[in-house]
Amino acid sequence: MISKKIVDTINAQINEELFSSYLYLSMAAYFENMSLTGFANWMRIQAQEEQFHAMKFFDYLIERGGEVELLAIEKPENKWDSILIAFEETLKHEEHITERINNLVSIAFDEKDYAAQNFLQWYVDEQVEEEAAASQILEQLRFLGENKHGLLMLDREFRTRVFTPPVTA
Ligand code: FEO
């Protein structure tokens, strides 16, 4: 039997993941307006990944007999001062999500819910990748600075990103 505390925390996490999707979709629109279609594509794919993260929690709650409760999604920002600032926010946001996942793991330990602990391990690993991806782009952007040619090359590279449903246990 899944505890109410875990059900509530997973419902809150579904909301966090859906907000993440909203945030990245908003960044996609920001990049589209700058005609940076590669950066926009990267963010569109990121938004799809976040939907996947939310739905994985959604399905898990149903499988465990917990009640899904969809909460209101906060409005994301829609403007950033630069590409760099948008990616700084991306990394900061992913670090926040990692904290939330770690908090969920702690609760699963406290509640002695071994099944939830196993399930959450996928997110622990996924967050390592999420932070690494954002951090790598941020480093590239810092390296390029105001180099417009370099930024356009990066934009071209990001046009090729596609959504591949992550491998799940
Ligand atoms: Fe669902 Fe980007 O963490």
Atom of ligand 1 at shortest range from CA of 126: 3
- Domain assignment present for 112: yes
Q: CATH number for the domain including 140?
A: 1.20.1260.10
pLDDT in tens, the chain (169 residues): 899 999 999 999 999 999 999 999 999 999 999 999 999 999 999 999 999 999 999 999 999 999 999 999 999 999 999 999 999 999 999 999 999 999 999 999 999 999 999 999 999 999 999 999 999 999 999 999 999 999 999 999 999 999 998 777 5
Q: What DSSP string describes 62-111?
A: HHTTPPP-PPPPPPPP---SSHHHHHHHHHHHHHHHHHHHHHHHHHHHHT
CA dihedral 133, 137, 142, 146 (to 10 degrees): -170
- Domain assignment present for 106: yes
- Domain assignment present for 167: no
pLDDT given for residue 169 in this prediction: 53
CB of 16 within 6 A of ligand 1: the answer is no
Residue whose Cα lies nearest atom 1 of ligand 1: it is 50
- Domain assignment present for 165: no
CB of 91 within 6 A of ligand 1: the answer is no
- Domain assignment present for 169: no
CB of 155 within 6 A of ligand 1: the answer is no
Range of the domain at 55: 4-158
| Cα(106)–Cα(54) distance, integer angstroms | 20
pLDDT given for residue 1 in this prediction: 86
Atom of ligand 1 at shortest range from CA of 16: 1
